[in-house]
């Protein structure tokens, strides 16, 4: 047995406990895997992969994540298990396919794409590839037409491995606005968290999250947090958590270093302008621990570990952050390398495992 084979065997036999990964990306092997679930005219209208002008295939994914069997990154379940699940000792991984459905303008096409991907996830990663129940996934929806989104939620609610609803953070309006409320009502009714993740933000049929369109990917990726800030502030100030007290929200891949300053600013404005939002019954920051969770990746790391620990303490990471590797992106976070050296063991364990276990009721 070679050293490499021995390492693989050791990883495969490692006890899967102590890590729940809340953001792992998977992909179909080719276009036909998705198209077979689609009816005309949407089957011909659907294009596999890509989100337009800010696609960056050279740096968005890890070169070593390409399956040895060929096919797109994230398409080989055995290789993903070997490279991610077995290597980290992951107990559960929540899967999110790359879709970018909200890049399109046609709400019926968007809904058809999401529905096809959900069928594909159910038939493959959540059944055929899931003998041990490691893989969980999100019900993917398009939010442009809430009635179609609710229909898709109803189709999968109660499935043992679909654990939340996932929307593209790219949108035409902030997520607190009443246009989206039927989606939240359905999420609350079925006990499913509502998660949002970058995709077609500021692209295609969606409004820019900046004063105009960025020139380069580096600008798009850096300023992406502006849209996430807008969505969170909107959810808080539109009174969504008062109207739907059972609703849980997950912010994925939108960063979190901005959170303390934004909440301080929002609380300060609330003290002066609460008359505008009488449906908000307490300081906006006080809704966070009961209703909102943040994925750890990308974890904005200063050079000094003690500064990172200060930030984690300021944002209440011990209670509201959940581990996300964001595999197989180029900036994947390793669970044993992402934390400051002086992090308290309880905080680390809650971020890696306990917060997600409690949140998703695993």
Domain count, the chain: 1
SS3 for 238? Answer: coil
Burial class (CB in 10 A: 0-12, 13-18, 19+), 58: exposed
Instruction: Return the pLDDT at 6.
Output: 44
Between the CA atoms of 173, 176, 178 and 181, what dihedral angle is there, to the nearest 10 degrees?
Answer: 120
- Cα–Cα distance, 349 to 323 (Å, whole number): 10
Instruction: Return the pLDDT at 46.
Output: 85
In the β-sheet with 20-26, what is the strand arrangement from edge to edge? Answer: 20-26, 92-97, 135-140, 162-168, 194-197, 249-251, 292-295, 321-322
- Cα–Cα distance, 353 to 362 (Å, whole number): 10
Sequence-distant (6+) residues with CB within 8 A of 123 are none
- Cα–Cα distance, 203 to 219 (Å, whole number): 13
- Cα–Cα distance, 228 to 170 (Å, whole number): 9
Cβ atoms of 189 and 247 closer than 8 Å: no
Q: Which residues of the chain have pLDDT under 50?
A: 3, 5-7, 56-59
Instruction: Return the pLDDT at 307.
Output: 95
Instruction: Return the pLDDT at 3.
Output: 47
Supply the CATH number for residue 157's domain. 3.20.20.140
DSSP string, 146-211: HHHHHHHHHHHTT-SSEEEEEEES--SS-TTSGGGHHHHHHHHHHT--EEEE-SSTTSTTSPPSSS
**Helix spans in 172-304 (H):** 181-190, 217-223, 225-237, 240-243, 259-273, 288-291
- Per the structure, the complete domain to which residue 281 belongs is given by 3-360
Phi/psi at 183 (5° precision) = -65, -45
Q: Report the DSSP beta bridge partners of residue 295.
A: 322
- Neighbour count for residue 9 (Cβ, 10 Å): 12
Instruction: Return the pLDDT at 125.
Output: 98
pLDDT tens-digit series, residues 277-325: 999 999 999 999 999 999 999 999 999 999 999 999 999 999 999 999 9
Q: Is 71 left (phi over 0), alpha (psi -120 to 50) or beta?
A: left
Burial class (CB in 10 A: 0-12, 13-18, 19+), 268: exposed
- Cα–Cα distance, 361 to 155 (Å, whole number): 21
- Cα–Cα distance, 141 to 91 (Å, whole number): 26
Cβ atoms of 95 and 135 closer than 8 Å: yes
Instruction: Return the pLDDT at 93.
Output: 98
SS3 for 1? Answer: coil
Cis peptide before 328 (omega within 30 of 0): yes
Cβ atoms of 314 and 351 closer than 8 Å: no
Buried b (16+ CB within 10 A) or exposed e, 235-250: bbbbbbbeebeebbbb
Instruction: Return the pLDDT at 11.
Output: 52
pLDDT tens-digit series, residues 61-107: 788 888 888 889 899 999 999 999 999 999 999 999 988 888 888 99
What is the token pair recorded at 39?
A: 């009816």
Percent helix, strand, coil in the chain, to 5, is 45, 10, 45
């Amino acid at each position: 047995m070679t050293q490499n084979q021995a390492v693989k065997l050791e990883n495969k036999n490692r006890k899967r406990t102590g890590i729940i990964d809340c953001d792992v990306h998977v992909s179909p092997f080719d276009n036909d895997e998705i198209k077979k679930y689609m009816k005309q005219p949407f089957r011909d209208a659907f294009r596999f992969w890509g989100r337009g002008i800010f696609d960056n295939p050279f740096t968005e994914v890890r070169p070593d994540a390409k399956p040895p069997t060929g096919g797109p990154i994230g398409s080989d379940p055995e290789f993903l298990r070997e490279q991610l699940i077995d290597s980290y000792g992951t107990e559960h991984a929540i899967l999110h396919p790359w879709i970018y459905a909200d890049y399109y303008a046609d709400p019926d096409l968007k809904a058809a794409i999401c529905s096809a991907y959900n069928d594909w996830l159910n038939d493959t990663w959540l059944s055929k590839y899931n003998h041990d129940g490691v893989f969980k996934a999100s019900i993917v929806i398009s939010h442009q037409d809430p009635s179609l989104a609710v229909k898709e939620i109803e189709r999968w609610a109660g499935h043992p491995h679909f654990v939340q609803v996932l929307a593209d953070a790219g949108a035409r309006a902030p997520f607190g606005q009443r246009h989206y409320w039927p989606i939240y009502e359905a999420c609350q009714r079925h006990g499913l968290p509502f998660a949002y993740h970058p995709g077609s933000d500021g692209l295609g049929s969606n409004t820019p999250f900046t004063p105009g369109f960025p020139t380069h990917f580096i600008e798009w990726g850096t300023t992406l947090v502006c849209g996430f800030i807008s969505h969170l502030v909107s959810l808080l100030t539109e009174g969504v958590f008062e109207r739907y007290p059972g609703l849980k929200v997950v912010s994925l891949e939108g960063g979190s270093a901005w959170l303390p300053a934004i909440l301080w600013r929002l609380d300060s404005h609330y003290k002066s302008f609460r008359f505008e939002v009488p449906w908000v019954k307490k300081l906006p920051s006080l809704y966070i621990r009961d209703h909102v969770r943040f994925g750890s990746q990308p974890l904005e790391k200063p050079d000094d570990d003690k500064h990172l620990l200060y930030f984690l303490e300021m944002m209440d990471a011990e209670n509201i952050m959940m581990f996300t590797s964001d595999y197989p992106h180029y900036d994947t976070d390793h669970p044993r390398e992402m934390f400051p050296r002086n992090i308290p063991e309880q905080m680390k364990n809650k971020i890696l495992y306990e917060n997600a276990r409690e949140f998703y009721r695993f």
